[in-house]
Amino acid sequence: MPPTAKASILHRVTGVALFFALTFVIWAWSESLSSPEGFNFVKELMTGFVAKFIAWGTFAVLSYHIIGGIRHMIQDMGHWEELESGNASAKIAIALWVIVAILGGVWIWS
């Protein structure tokens, strides 16, 4: 499968994943703003491995969706439409995402 197809499919998949991940984010915001006890509950919950993994996953899909979206907007302006430059931009977007996701994991778990 060409890199452009992988990048496009990944952009769509991360969009769907964001829809589901944001249910956790919205619930956590709502609960944390409901009362001091709710805030402390969410704060304690976010120290666990599962919650950090969900937070990292949410960050990872959001970061790729933003990177892929910027790539698509640049293509909409008429750039990177040729096969060679399109493949190169897809590879760069995926590589940049991997770096950002790793740095996000370091930030969340440190």
What's the rounded Cα separation, in Å, for the pair 28 and 21? 11
The pair of structure tokens assigned to 103 is 């740095």
Per DSSP, 82 falls in state: S
**79 marked as part of a ligand binding site:** no
Can you tell me the distance from the alpha carbon of 24 to that of 110, in angstroms, rounded to the nearest whole number?
A: 21
| Residue ranges of the binding site for heme | 65
| Residue ranges of the binding site | 65
